């Protein structure tokens, strides 16, 4: 009797096991563990800066300016003070939030634009595909940095930002506008691949509407290649933000981000205050490294074809 | 003279400045071209600049009646043969014969009268207009303006049509004798004559001011062959027909540095011959033994102040003004911007000036956070309102005033916000009483007398000065000093006027500068004028020599 019983439908089995498999593979790699710890550290710093420092980054005492971090991680100023006499550790920790907020918001906007346009292009094809694909081509021709520089030049001379939103919005908008194309291409390719699969055809025969097919049936498949590139993209956004800040058009002082710190640090490194440049640089490199490593491992785990 | 603190690096402007800027030694004269930093120039016609950047060009392209000795700062006759007076009220100036402008026009009594009348004529709205106020007939050229509603441009005052154009106090006795009648005796009059406002003006210049602005027609040792560009600078070459002592160099190129750029990087590559290091590079420059041989360090009479807008209702409370001053840790701020950049001020006139160093500001210029807090708490500063500090964006002004703001916040908990503007916009806005908070106020002397730090900055009443400062007692004291018979007496009376400032506190004295210039290996005989060296790097172009 039992062999005649229809197999119990186990929805999502394939999918959840894919994620579970991926998790299991990644868990075994030491580089991924180190990368995850660094990411955890950075995200915690962004979310709860007061866990790491009890000083305010805006409390700057001129007579304490440029104290080298002789005591290293202990004492009054664990990482010394910057040129204005602000506690450097506090500045660094509080500069993390704008950096991470900016990277995440750029990423979210870019993924949303990318997925929607990618699915539309892949699913409908024809004219819509032609328009979206040509738009992708156009934006891809303009390098991310060049586009962002051109766009941000328009925002020049704006007043000092008052809150986190005003601080990160201009560079975030600029980077998002020139950063969504990759996601469109991945999603479009995955959609084209998926839309002719039997289960999609079946859904269509059952009378499912386009929207339902796109977001219920195709999207869960298309999201996998996109997920794999997200960490790497986050890393490159952080680097791009720093580059913009060094050019003086990213996050505007007195607000801080790692890019602003690096930009200030470059002036001082030559004058013998290497820590003002070295510490933010080290933090940046570590973070980008961990995003890249994590992203790499995630792609390996999710996409067996690449293995 | 308002000081820009201009000029400082990274923009490779030499590329935009045309061929002249990359010359090493192929200039006109034998001596090579000297490369100098400069900020944004307001005007190149005498009487139109009134700030350090225009003046550093004008003083080399024009010759005045007197020139300030590069060692002592004392006025010595240059174009003038003799300046005499029996009563300090009627002055007879004889002019050397045979001098001409670059275009061949004679430099005679008429040339001076022409220039002075242009400066004094109110409808020209020139920044140095007030320098002529001591001359008889100035009042007629400066009537009350028409009611503000009748002005076409709300920023440009308009006057009745019948304003005379010539001051009655100026007479050309003959071609080379100029007689000047003052409204009251003024002993210091000859000392003023080396300043830009009193330079001669060619008729051709007056006929076409626009052309003259781009290519000044001067009578000095340097002349422009190509027009000067405000954004990219320009080159002036030695004038072959100059009658005075010929400069040794072949010419000078002014390279423009704006918006916080500074000259240090260009100095290190040898593209700029003189420069002041920024705060960031200061220490390494100081520790470089090779650079020490090419270092000029000396006191600079230029002072930096935090001007207070007495025209704004928030700043009416004298206790608040004192609180702001006592809240600033001057030593600490200097530590941020480079400890050797200045000496904290305890008065409105620096020590290196005749009659200065009186300590008139006293306890109000000492860092005293507790007292500052007490005074601030007692004042009626609007709750939660930020202090808006206005600053022009040249050089590292923004950093300097951030350090000042930080110090105020640290001492009395008053949050601040920096508002930055371009130099010439900033000057205009400041003069029009458009700033609603404390503002950067720099002053470099025009001549060596404490009067120059008192009358031009705070004199003239509410409308004339940037602070909206008005005090009958002060004006009376200044008038009394101006009429004094001997210099000593005048200096003492001006000191009394300075003491009145401490009670009304129109500005917060911060520090007097220290010159720290470095020059390149090819520079010889580097002399910095003790009275006015422009910020960012300046040498006496009449004395400097270049080796190739």
Query: Which ipTM score applies to this complex?
Result: 0.74
* CB spacing of A63 vs B402 below 8 angstroms: no
What is residue A225's predicted lDDT score, i.e. its pLDDT? 82
Q: Which of A60, A63, A160 sits opposite B418 (nearest CB)?
A: A160
Question: Any CB–CB contact under 8 A between B146 and chain A?
Answer: no
Residues of chain A with Cβ-Cβ distance to B335 below 8 Å are 62-63, 65, 85
Token pair, residue B233, equals 């600078």
DSSP string, B283-314: HHHHT-HHHHTTEEEEEEEEEEEEE--TTSGG
Strands B545-546 and B274-275: unpaired
CATH topology of domain B2-258+520-546: D-Maltodextrin-Binding Protein; domain 2 (3.40.190)
* CB spacing of A85 vs B331 below 8 angstroms: no
Q: Which of A85, A267, A271 sits opposite B336 (nearest CB)?
A: A85
* CB spacing of A84 vs B406 below 8 angstroms: yes
Question: Any CB–CB contact under 8 A between B410 and chain A?
Answer: yes
* CB spacing of A271 vs B281 below 8 angstroms: yes
Question: Any CB–CB contact under 8 A between A157 and chain B?
Answer: no
User: If you count residue pairs, one on A and one on B, with CB atoms under 8 Å apart, how many are there?
Assistant: 66
The stretch A48-57 carries a mean pLDDT of 88
pLDDT at A179 over 80: yes
CA B261 – CA B377 distance, rounded (Å):
39
CA B369 – CA B324 distance, rounded (Å):
10
Question: Any CB–CB contact under 8 A between B392 and chain A?
Answer: no
pLDDT at A22 over 70: yes
What is residue B10's predicted lDDT score, i.e. its pLDDT? 29
Q: How far is B405 from chain A (nearest CA, A)?
A: 10
Of the CATH numbers 3.40.50.720, 3.20.20.140, 1.10.3720.10, 3.30.230.10, which one belongs to the domain with range A25-50+80-306?
Answer: 1.10.3720.10
Residues of chain A with Cβ-Cβ distance to B388 below 8 Å are none
* CB spacing of A61 vs B283 below 8 angstroms: no
What is residue B366's predicted lDDT score, i.e. its pLDDT? 94
* CB spacing of A85 vs B406 below 8 angstroms: yes
Where in chain B is CATH 3.10.105.10?
297-513
CATH topology of domain B297-513: Dipeptide-binding Protein; domain 3 (3.10.105)
pLDDT at A111 over 90: yes
Q: Which of B280, B333, B336 sits opposite A267 (nearest CB)?
A: B280
Give the DSSP letter of residue A87: B
Range with lowest mean pLDDT among A162-166, A224-228, B372-376:
A162-166
Reported as a single tens digit per residue, the pLDDT across A254-285 is 778 898 899 888 888 877 788 999 999 999 99
Question: Any CB–CB contact under 8 A between B402 and chain A?
Answer: yes
Q: Which residues of A286-304 are buried (b: 16+ CB within 10 A; e: fewer)?
A: bbbebbbbbbbbbbbbbee
pLDDT at A209 over 60: yes
**pLDDT means per 10 residues in chain B (548 residues)?**
46 33 44 90 92 92 91 86 92 94 95 95 90 92 85 81 91 94 89 91 94 94 94 93 92 87 87 87 83 90 93 93 95 87 92 89 94 93 92 83 93 91 88 93 86 89 88 91 87 94 93 91 90 84 88
What is residue B224's predicted lDDT score, i.e. its pLDDT? 95
- Residue A4's contacts (CB-CB under 8 Å, 6 or more residues apart) are none
* CB spacing of B280 vs A268 below 8 angstroms: yes
Q: How far is A96 from chain B (nearest CA, A)?
A: 22
Nearest chain B residue to A274 by CA: give it: B280
Q: Are B38 and B68 in contact (CB under 8 A)?
A: no
CA B62 – CA B84 distance, rounded (Å):
23
Give the mutation candidate from A56, A62, A247 for the B interface (greatest B CB count, under 10 A): A62
Token pair, residue B11, equals 């923009």
Residues of chain A with Cβ-Cβ distance to B419 below 8 Å are 159
CA B137 – CA B167 distance, rounded (Å):
5
Radius of gyration of chain A (CA): 23
Q: Which of B280, B333, B419 sits opposite A62 (nearest CB)?
A: B333
pLDDT band at A250 (very low <50, low <70, confident <90, very high): confident
**CB half-sphere exposure, A279, CA atoms < 13 A:** 23
For chain A, domain boundaries: 25-50+80-306
Q: How far is B282 from chain A (nearest CA, A)?
A: 7
Interface of B with A in 417-476 (CB under 8 A): 417-419
* CB spacing of A62 vs B409 below 8 angstroms: no
CA distances from B424 to A105, B42, B52, B393 (A): 39, 6, 12, 11
Question: Any CB–CB contact under 8 A between A156 and chain B?
Answer: no
CA B107 – CA B203 distance, rounded (Å):
10
Give the per-residue SS3 of B245-285: CCCCCCEEEEEECCCCCCCHHHHHCCCCCEECCCHHHHHHH
CA B523 – CA B46 distance, rounded (Å):
29
Token pair, residue B300, equals 């600079």
* CB spacing of A271 vs B406 below 8 angstroms: no
Q: How far is A236 from chain B (nearest CA, A)?
A: 27
Residues of chain B with Cβ-Cβ distance to A85 below 8 Å are 332, 335-336, 403, 406
Q: How far is A98 from chain B (nearest CA, A)?
A: 20
Q: Report phi then psi at A70, rounded to 5.
A: -70, -30
Where in chain B is CATH 3.40.190.10?
2-258+520-546
Strands B33-38 and B251-256: parallel
CA B441 – CA A37 distance, rounded (Å):
52
What is residue B26's predicted lDDT score, i.e. its pLDDT? 42
pLDDT at A5 over 80: no
Nearest chain B residue to A269 by CA: give it: B280
Residues of chain B with Cβ-Cβ distance to A161 below 8 Å are none
Residues of chain B with Cβ-Cβ distance to A56 below 8 Å are none
Helix segments in B2-64, DSSP class H: 52-61
Handedness of CA B10, B16, B21, B26 (dihedral sign): positive
What is residue A306's predicted lDDT score, i.e. its pLDDT? 54
What is residue A82's predicted lDDT score, i.e. its pLDDT? 87
Q: How far is B278 from chain A (nearest CA, A)?
A: 9
Radius of gyration of chain B (CA): 23
Q: How far is A269 from chain B (nearest CA, A)?
A: 8
Q: How far is A254 from chain B (nearest CA, A)?
A: 9
Reported as a single tens digit per residue, the pLDDT across B477-533 is 998 998 888 888 999 999 999 999 998 999 999 999 888 899 999 999 999 988 778
Token pair, residue B81, equals 């043969």
Nearest chain B residue to A159 by CA: give it: B419
- Reference B255, options B234, B275, B237; nearest CA is B234
Question: Any CB–CB contact under 8 A between A166 and chain B?
Answer: no
Residues of chain B with Cβ-Cβ distance to A60 below 8 Å are 403, 406, 410
């Amino acid at each position: 009797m039992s062999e005649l019983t229809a197999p119990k439908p186990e929805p999502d089995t394939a999918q959840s096991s894919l994620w579970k498999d991926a998790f299991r593979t990644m868990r075994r790699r030491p580089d991924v563990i180190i990368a995850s710890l660094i990411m955890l550290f950075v995200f915690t710093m962004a979310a709860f800066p007061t866990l790491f420092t009890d000083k305010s980054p805006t409390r700057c005492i001129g007579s304490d300016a440029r104290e080298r971090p002789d005591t290293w991680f202990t004492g009054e100023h664990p990482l010394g003070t910057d040129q204005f006499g602000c506690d450097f550790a506090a500045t660094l920790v509080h500069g993390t939030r704008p950096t991470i907020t900016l990277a995440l918001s750029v990423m979210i906007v870019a993924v949303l634009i990318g997925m929607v346009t990618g699915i539309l292009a892949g699913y409908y094809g024809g004219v819509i595909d032609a328009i979206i694909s040509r738009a992708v081509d156009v934006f891809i021709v303009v390098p991310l940095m060049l586009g962002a520089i051109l766009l941000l030049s328009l925002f020049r001379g704006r007043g000092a930002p008052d809150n986190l939103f005003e601080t990160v919005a201009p560079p975030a908008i600029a980077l998002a506008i020139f950063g969504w194309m990759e996601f469109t291409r991945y999603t479009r390719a995955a959609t084209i691949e998926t839309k002719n699969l039997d289960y999609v055809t079946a859904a269509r025969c059952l009378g499912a509407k386009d929207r339902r097919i796109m977001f219920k049936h195709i999207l869960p498949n298309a999201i996998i290649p996109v997920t794999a590139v997200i960490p790497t993209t986050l890393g490159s956004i952080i680097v791009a933000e720093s580059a913009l800040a060094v050019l003086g058009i990213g996050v505007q002082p007195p607000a801080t981000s790692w890019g602003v710190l690096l930009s200030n640090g470059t002036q001082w490194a030559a004058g013998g205050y290497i820590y003002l440049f070295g510490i933010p640089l080290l933090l940046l490199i570590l973070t980008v490294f961990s995003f890249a490593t994590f992203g790499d491992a995630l792609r390996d785990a999710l996409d067996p074809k690449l293995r | 003279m308002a000081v820009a603190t201009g000029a400082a690096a990274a923009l490779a402007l030499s590329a935009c400045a045309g061929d002249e800027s990359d010359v090493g030694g192929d200039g006109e004269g034998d001596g090579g071209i000297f490369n100098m930093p400069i900020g944004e120039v307001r005007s190149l016609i005498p009487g139109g600049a009134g700030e350090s950047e225009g003046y550093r060009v004008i003083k080399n392209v024009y010759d005045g009646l007197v020139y300030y000795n590069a060692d002592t700062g004392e006025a010595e006759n240059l174009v003038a043969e003799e300046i005499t007076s029996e009563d300090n009220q009627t002055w007879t100036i004889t002019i050397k014969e045979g001098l001409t402008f670059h275009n061949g026009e004679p430099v005679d009594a008429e040339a001076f009268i022409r220039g002075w009348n242009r400066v004094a004529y109110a409808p020209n709205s020139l920044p140095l207009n007030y320098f002529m106020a001591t001359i008889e007939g100035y009042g007629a050229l400066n009537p009350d303006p028409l009611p503000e509603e009748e002005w076409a441009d709300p920023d440009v005052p308009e006057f009745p049509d019948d304003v005379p154009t010539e001051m009655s106090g100026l007479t050309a006795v003959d071609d080379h004798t100029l007689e000047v009648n003052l409204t009251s005796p003024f002993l210091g009059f000859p000392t003023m004559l080396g300043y830009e406002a009193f330079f001669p003006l060619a008729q051709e210049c007056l006929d076409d001011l626009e052309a003259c602005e781009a290519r000044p027609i001067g009578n000095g040792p340097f002349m422009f062959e190509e027009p000067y560009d405000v954004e990219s600078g320009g080159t002036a070459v030695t004038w072959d027909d100059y009658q005075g002592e010929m400069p040794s160099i072949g010419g000078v190129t002014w390279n423009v540095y704006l918006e916080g750029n500074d000259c240090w990087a260009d100095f290190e590559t040898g593209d700029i011959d003189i420069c002041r290091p920024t705060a960031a590079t200061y220490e390494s420059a100081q520790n470089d033994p090779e650079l020490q041989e090419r270092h000029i360090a000396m006191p600079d009479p230029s002072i930096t102040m935090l001007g207070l807008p007495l025209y704004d209702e928030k700043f009416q409370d004298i206790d608040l003004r004192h609180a702001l001053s006592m809240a600033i840790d001057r030593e600490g701020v200097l530590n941020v911007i480079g400890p050797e950049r200045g000496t904290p001020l305890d008065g409105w006139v620096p020590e290196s000036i005749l009659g200065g160093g009186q300590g008139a500001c006293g306890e109000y210029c000492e860092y005293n956070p507790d007292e500052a807090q007490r005074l601030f708490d007692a004042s009626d500063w609007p709750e939660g309102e930020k202090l808006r500090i206005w600053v022009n964006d040249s050089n590292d002004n923004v950093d300097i005033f951030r350090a000042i703001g930080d110090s105020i916040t640290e001492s009395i908990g008053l949050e601040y916000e920096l508002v930055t503007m371009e130099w010439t916009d900033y000057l205009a806005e400041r003069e029009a009483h458009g700033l609603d908070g404390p503002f950067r106020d720099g002053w470099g002397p025009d001549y060596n007398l404490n009067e120059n730090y008192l009358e031009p900055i705070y004199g003239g009443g509410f409308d004339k000065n940037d602070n909206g400062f008005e005090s009958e007692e002060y004006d009376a004291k200044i008038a009394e000093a101006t009429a004094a018979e001997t210099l000593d007496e005048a200096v003492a009376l001006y000191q009394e006027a300075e003491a009145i400032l401490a009670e009304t506190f129109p500005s917060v004295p911060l520090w007097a500068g220290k010159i720290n210039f470095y020059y390149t290996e090819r520079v010889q005989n580097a002399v910095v004028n003790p009275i006015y060296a422009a910020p960012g790097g300046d040498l006496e172009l009449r004395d400097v020599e270049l080796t190739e």
